[in-house]
Chains A and B, each alone.
Chain A
Amino acid sequence: MSTTAVKGGSRTGAGRPPGGSPVRAGRPHAAWALPGVLFFAFFAIAPMALAFYLSFTKWNGLGDPQPVGLANWQKLLSDDRLTQSLTVTVLLTVVSWAFQTVVSLLLGVWAAGRQKNRAILSAIFFVPFLLSSTAISLLFYALLDPNFGIIRGDTLGSTNGAFLAIVFVGGWQFIPFHTLIYQGGARQIPEVLYQAAAIDGAGRLRQFFSITLPQLRNTAATSSVLMVVGSLTYFETVLILTQGGPGTDTAILPYLMYEAGFKSYDFGYASAIASFLVVVATALSLLMVKLSGFGAMRSTREGM
């Protein structure tokens, strides 16, 4: 039925074909996942656990870590810079998400079209993502130079200017990646839906809002989780463009952590910030997954 399809997938339950018990085929034993899980546990989880242990010690990189109990955590919770850092981080995440999602979505849907020029243009649009963060930040650093850059005026020296510069540069670099994700998602939307809607007399705009957007729900979830969590760990741009400045106005949490670890060599405190960051980010992504229904692994194309 075209109307049901337009509303973006029926809700007949996870993986349940009409009128039957769940297919037993293609359900790999959990052991298939084991090599990946072990590898990741060894190289990522174990070091993170060690870092967590370090957060209860005082260590400057030399000699042995000295256990200090909760000292680092107490310092973290009473640090004035933490509140400012948290606020900036949240603000940056939200604004970046809005900017990047809107642009990536529009570009992804546009790129999914079959016109030849779109293929060439998409290739050009992707170039920013190929460059390293360091290179991009150095480039924009020069472009924003008040005396010789493209934008005269004290961009990086003002709080708002610095903030917007970070949002923009981050977007410039990562929008291509998310465009790719949305493009993939848009390409997978079956024609059927659009054709049926066209028969029903729906215009372009209506098609976009009633078909494209809902069908992109899972794609949006993937992309958003990546964006949100990614911007929490993403700080090279801040490091090069603003060094957390002016003053400390753009010192996001990851920057605070880097400063503590690699500038002050206070690895205990840096590990405390890192552990805090991981907990917050994981909680956030779990929440997003739950809210968007991503975790139920349902297809947007059920009932077809």
Chain B
Amino acid sequence: MESTTSNGGRTFSRRWVLGAGATTVLTAGLSACGSSGGTGSGGGGTITAFVYGDDAVKVQVKAVSRFNASAAAKKAKGKVKIEKVPGAEYPAKLRTAMGSPNAPDVFFNWGGGSIKAYKDADQLVDLTDTITSDPVLKDGFLPAVLAAGGLSGHNYGIPMRGMQPVILFYNKTLFAEHKLTPPTTWAQLLDINAKLKKAKITPFALGGADIWPELMWLEYLVDRIGGPKVFDRIKNGDASGWGDPAVLKAAETVKQLIDDGAFGKGYSSVAYTNGGAPAVFAKGKAAMHLMGSWEYSTQLGKFPDFAKKDLGWCAFPSFDGGAGDIRNVVGNPTNYWSINARTSNKDAALAFLRDCASEQYAKDLIANGDIPATANAEKLLDASPNPEFAKFQYEMVQQAPAFTLSWDQAVDPNVSTPMLTEINKLFVGKSSPSQFVSALKGLK
């Protein structure tokens, strides 16, 4: 029979128990502080690849199986294990993993500022020499795109997805109805704006809630007004570059567009990511949409009739008196594979990356509706679901004197976050163009 009182039968003192508890907690805490380097992925030369887990992943998955069965894998004594990381959280997950014993050997990124922190922490393999000495890699890709995957003149990434320039899409049918032609100058654009408003059509669809669609406008305006060197300066870490008059002028132009009703009302509640803005465009509520090239496949997936019959595209117009070439492009050149400096099997990683220049890989991308950034892609484009659009895009990038990386990927994350907030404030009217500029100048 157990004791009826609560104090019966204790043989150890309370103090001992608590002491033991405290020690356990402390030890765990202290031991967690020193993180070991190196990757913790599977043994025997298997390397892990982190990829952005979305629909387009299937091309990479195929490439991995192809590689694992190939002679190159046997030679490098390693296989690749692909890990699909859920979409929007990819940068956060990558960052956490790279700082831990479970870092991937190969990982997907956007080049530019998205890998700067890793470069600063000496976690990237410098691919410059490897590329120059390997003809497959050196001549396999469009030079501008390959360069955009690097930092300060060194290469850190190999292109592995389609090109994503920002294009001005427009509704051919609506334009024909209202006797409009796609604009090549800013004056023409303003004119089209006025005519559309008279016809009670919103000139431009804009997914303001996501903020990056708004960013696209500023990117192109700054380029057309001041040329690519304006942002180049900022990209290289010079915060005073925001003070360039082109930035102010771009902000003022944006404000003017907003005041003129170019984006309609309520655009700051409309998102791109949940299909809101594409729907506004496809349903004819808006006549134009400045968006990345993926807008085509998005429309094809959601509103195929619109995509096939009414969707048109053109380049962003030039700005009167501006320094930027109309052929300049902004957007994401592509996505890249980079290699972790602490990888356990660098040969396997490199061999895997080499496959990205292959014709088979390019064919898979094209079949998926993407435009590869490879040199051999041009002749394969006829196999694309829409060869006309594919060729337009390819030539656009090929002939571009400059391809500016999306600002939010080009700069360090601790600059891009406040930058996006400031852009949002400008577009909702909570910040004037000059306030916008001074806020940005204060970012480091």
Contact = CB atoms under 8 A, between A and B. Distances in A.
A262 B276 CA distance: 26
Contact of B5 (A24, A38, A154, A249): A24
A50 interface: yes
Contacts of B32: 50
A15 to B, nearest CB: 14
Contacts of A247: 421, 424-425, 428, 430-431
Contacts of B24: 38, 42
Interface string A127-162: 000000000001001101111100001111100000
Contact of A61 (B10, B96, B421): B96
A265 B428 contact: no
B371 interface: no
B274 A157 contact: no
Contacts of A116: none
Contacts of B120: 62
How extensive is the interface on chain B, given as a class? Answer: 35 or more
Indicate the member of B209, B280, B416, B431 with the most A CB atoms within 10 Å: B209
B434 to A, nearest CB: 16
Interface string B404-417: 00000000011011
B63 interface: no
Indicate the member of B25, B29, B266 with the most A CB atoms within 10 Å: B266
Contact of B98 (A45, A62, A145, A154): A62
Contacts of A155: 269
Contacts of A265: 95, 117, 413-414
A152 B279 CA distance: 15
Given A138-B274, A264-B417, A29 B269 contact: no
A27 B35 CA distance: 44
A114 interface: no
Contacts of A42: 24-25, 28
A157 B431 contact: no
5 closest pairs, A vs B, by CB?
A146-B266, A157-B268, A264-B414, A154-B266, A62-B121
19 contacts: A24-B5, A41-B21, A42-B24, A46-B29, A50-B32, A141-B274, A142-B274, A145-B274, A146-B270, A154-B266, A154-B269, A157-B208, A157-B268, A157-B428, A243-B209, A247-B425, A264-B414, A264-B417, A265-B414
Interface of A: 24-25, 27-31, 34, 37-38, 41-42, 45-46, 49-50, 60-64, 138, 141-142, 144-148, 153-157, 243-249, 259, 262-266
